[in-house]
A and B are shown apart, each in its own frame.
Chain A
Amino acid sequence: MKKIRNSSTTTTTGGGGATTAMRVIVPLQGVVQGRGGLFLGSVIPCALFYFLQLYLKGRGGRKSGEPPAPPESSPSETHLREVSTLQRVHSRLLLSPRGTSGPAQVSSRANAIAKQADGTYCVGLKRAADDPYDEMNNPDGVIQLGLAENRLSLDMVQEWLADNTRESIISQDLSISGIAAYQSFDGLMELKVVVAEFMSQVIEKPQFFNPAQIVLTAGATPAIEILSFCLADPGNAFLVPSPYNPDLDRDVKWRAGVEIVPVPCRSADNFSLSTTALDRAFNQAKKRGLKVRGMIISNPSNPVGVLYNREMLYSLLDFATEKNIHIISNEVFAGSTHGSEEFVSMAEIIDTEDYDRGRVHIIYGLSKDISLPGYGIGVIYTFNENVLSAAKKLARFSPVSAPTQRLLVSMLSHTKFIQRFIKINRERVRRMYILFAGGLKLLGIECIKSNGGFYCWADMSSLIRSYSEKGELELWENLLNVAKVNATPGSSCHCVEPGWFRLCFSTLREKDIPVVIERIRKISETCISRS
């Protein structure tokens, strides 16, 4: 009996509910009344059940225990949308005589991207780019604190480039075809070897990373997109502890069509993640009919700057194992730690215990740790064979150009330079962090004690007029328009508590810090006097 009910409810979604029910019931009646024969009596339910199974399997990821009722995901939705647009165009063609049809329409997904209004994060970045502060030429310009870019150690990079550019791109033993000809899309093996070595050096464990598990992409952004594509189908979801980097929404949602379920972290816990919160978010997503396929963490976290300790990483892995989901660990700031705490890579955890290594994927890049965002080098490091081979093929859509790869091969194999660079760069980041956070403290603005990254996660809730997102955005506007400082408001990072801002200090020079502090002081004074 249960079988029959199931089949009729499922077919309802296909249309014509009443007739299907009829069709199922009527023949069975015949069978029950002994007119169908033993053979038919067994064949019909059997066949029905068989096709029901086939149908359920065909619908993909749904678990057999779940009721089939919740209208699932995009396939059916897009199908419906498609049908409606189809009809519209048909009628249109009939009405319009030859040659006068309207403008060519772009796809609805492109339209959504083209029309999407810029969030506060992008608006701020643009303002700062259009009217940049310059001590001499534009002292009234906007000071950029919104971009996690490191300019503290560019002098070292410049020095190296000046000495070595020519030799590294066309060296004696390397012909022109080494840079001009087609290369494999997922990166030169030479570069993978030195990147693996560099990553190992960052966590201070020689030869820890295996070059064969690396896929190189044009930046960490496409690396995240490719992983989203490989780990989740459209309409599936990832759990992401919030606050998180505002870029992530675009990287995961835009083309891969994967949803983000934020897992709120709070100031009371120093914005550290708890498995209870993860569990709650997972169950809520499940209730909404969302299939969670993984979680994305950033370690050191962006925008807060805290590190995940060993214990936490173990419990995340336990959680992932229990729910059978993936973990993407974004470690682009791994080499930019400046505190006393030790950075532990997810790769180390997976190496020590007998977990399914196939569920761990690491994102890395050279944008942050060796200050080369313009070079656009991203790394996918995965233990999963399927993901590795799919990502290698998908790298055709975001390859790194060969001259850049050659340049980096020789830069990264220059071990002495790299060691010196990492050491000096850490010191400079640390110094700037102390200066900047100290300056803010003088204004009564506290920051979360961070150990990594180029930013402070600052609590400005005392400066906002109404304790809400609205108040936060008012302060952001004031900072941008009056104080001429571009900060990233917590709301664009999906922070649940209002009044937090991410301030990146690594694009500044030391002498700029007093200017920034002075500008913020003015705002804070007006805020306080008003209240």
Chain B
Amino acid sequence: MTRNSDSETKPRKPTRTGMRLIVPLQGIVQGRGGLILGSLIPCALVYFLQLYLKRHRSSNTLSPSTSAENLPELPRSSSRANLLTRGSIGRVPVSSRASSIAKPNDCPYYIGLDRVREDPYDEINNPNGIIQLGLSENRLSLDLIEEWLSKNLSASMLGEGGDDLNICGIAAYQPSDGLMELKVAMAGFMTEIMGRTISFNPSSVVLISGATPALEILSFCLADQGNAFLVPTPYYPGFDRDMRWRTGVELIPVHCRSCDDFTLSIKALDQAFNQARKRGQKVRGVLISNPSNPVGNLLSIDMLYDLLDFARERNIHIISDEIFAGSMYGNEEFVSMAQILNSEDSDRDRVHIIYGLSKDFSLPGFRVGVIYSFNENVLAASRKLTRFASISAPTQRLVVSMLSDTKFTREYMKTNRERIKKMHDLFVEGLRELGIESAKSSAGLYCWVDMSRLISPYNEKGELELWDKLSNIAKINVTPGSACHCIEPGWFRCCFATLNEKQIPLVIERILTRNNLICPHQNGMNWSLTCCSKIIA
């Protein structure tokens, strides 16, 4: 296979150039210059076009649009400087990589979040505002956290009686990859949540200010610029920013389909890997989320073994984002990638786990993320890189004492799971009454909803139209499947954990009553009528 693809691409070039070289010579020799030149022009044009495209792709920070934007500014600088007198104004260009980031958001995921920020729903103050179903944040158990904080806050941040902890412990410079106390507490917490048969080792923990920089650092450490990761779709829209923006790494979608319940297959991975290789792209790893975001299903233990085999065979890494490991509501059992490894030590150095307290512990504002890696080099490099994303010391102290209170954490996790399950069941049931089904799932703060019956035309455009109407007319913000790179149109991620129970009927009602506005076509009418009759009955 490899040799084939290699030998295919290589000789092709020489023969083509050979042709191009010979033909015009022939033409001139035979005195038919005009005709042959006529064919030469497209040839030359194509050649330069190829050259141009090739150059362009190799420096992939320069997409055509950004370079076009910079053109009037960049080349001017030197000639312009000569003309400038003191104090006259010349615009100074920013870097081309920054100007592409500075542009306004074009992904509906972020546009939706912005819209909610401007016009958030509030029962009393803004009853007509947009209801947030686009942010996977857990507000179901904040009361428990609040209760704990009100009891323990000052003690945990300042120390009991002043002896345990002096001011240097929070004000002075700390190791940037996290306090050892917090690593120990974190490893303990992770063991509690996803360890089962194994225990997590504090010395393999690197603490970072959130899972977002954790992903970026791993992406930087495992791949060079222009390399790629395989990512099963649909995937969390934030990956595009976290993995790619500053690292220059590409993400290659590996499509999963509704007919397989959106489960990953090694065959699809293999196919994507080979296609990438044919394009000359070096694949450095697979990025999975388990429990998956946005679908909410789990990777089975067999699948994990297969994945590891695949990674070994291709000699690539696996990043397993397990940030929802503790937010389970189904009957299935969650298996961490770390568990698989225990028996097969030889491959430990290719597995890296992402964790954090934003989801399972409802503390996204604290910005506590974890890289758990078995690879010494990755650990060494990411420890050094945490200088750019360290957690502030007062927060670390607070979290140390929170996580060390195992009685509290156990109780919290138990209650939290029950509440998620209850909300999930209520929400899915409400949608089902409208005839909207959700994908089978057992974890996460969201459900993956099939609204393909409501879209027309059946493509991305139709999906985005529905999304726009949901946000403008029904005033609910959901994440469309296209933002998650889902290959089938009409799927939406709805996060239910920012709601409270009494808001569920409101959401359902907004979808239902404003449905006529959303789907004025006949199909939608019939459907909503049947729904109404069903609900009345």
Contact = CB atoms under 8 A, between A and B. Distances in A.
A16 B21 CA distance: 12
A403 B92 contact: no
Interface string B173-185: 1100000000000
Given A82-B226, A404-B392, A55 B365 contact: no
B377 A111 contact: yes
A232 B71 CA distance: 16
Contact of B67 (A58, A78, A147): A58
Interface stretch (B186-194, B208-216, B260-268, B502-510): B208-216
Interface in A154-179: 154-155, 157-158, 161-162, 165-166, 169-170, 175-179
Interface string A337-379: 0000000000000000111101100000000000111111100
Most buried by B among A16, A26, A154, A384: A26
A79 B84 CA distance: 37
A531 interface: no
Interface stretch (A85-93, A268-276, A449-457, A468-476): A85-93
A394 B387 contact: no
Contact of A37 (B34, B362, B385): B34
B392 A151 contact: no
B521 interface: no
Interface residues on B, range: 35 or more
B151 to A, nearest CB: 11
Contact of B384 (A113, A230, A376): A113
Range class of the A interface residue count: 35 or more
Interface string A99-119: 101111111111101111000
Nearest to B24: A26
A399 B388 CA distance: 10
Contacts of A85: 282
Interface stretch (B55-63, B333-341, B403-411, B423-431): B55-63
B265 to A, nearest CB: 19
Interface stretch (A60-68, A196-204, A480-488): A60-68
Per DSSP, are chain B's interface residues mostly helix, strand or loop, or mixed?
helix
B75 A51 contact: no
A65 B95 contact: no
A323 interface: yes
B153 A107 contact: no
Interface stretch (B39-47, B454-462, B483-491): B39-47
B74 A158 contact: no
A397 to B, nearest CB: 5
Contacts of B384: 113-114, 116, 250, 254
Given A229-B97, A231-B94, 19 more contacts: A57-B67, A63-B77, A75-B59, A92-B315, A103-B349, A107-B227, A110-B378, A110-B382, A154-B168, A177-B139, A180-B364, A181-B365, A182-B358, A218-B388, A231-B98, A374-B393, A396-B242, A399-B209, A403-B365
Interface of B: 2-3, 6, 17, 20-21, 24-25, 27-28, 31, 33-34, 37-38, 40-41, 44-45, 47-49, 51-52, 54-56, 58-59, 61-62, 67, 70-71, 74-75, 77-81, 84, 86-92, 94-99, 101-102, 117, 135, 137, 139, 142-143, 145-146, 149-150, 153-154, 157-158, 162, 166-174, 209-210, 212-213, 216, 220-227, 241-242, 245-246, 280, 282, 284, 309, 311-317, 347, 349-350, 358, 362-368, 375, 377-378, 380-382, 384-385, 387-395, 398
24 contacts: A14-B54, A30-B37, A35-B37, A36-B37, A44-B41, A55-B55, A61-B74, A61-B75, A75-B58, A99-B312, A110-B222, A111-B377, A111-B381, A179-B365, A182-B358, A231-B94, A232-B95, A233-B97, A324-B84, A356-B92, A371-B171, A377-B392, A384-B92, A401-B367
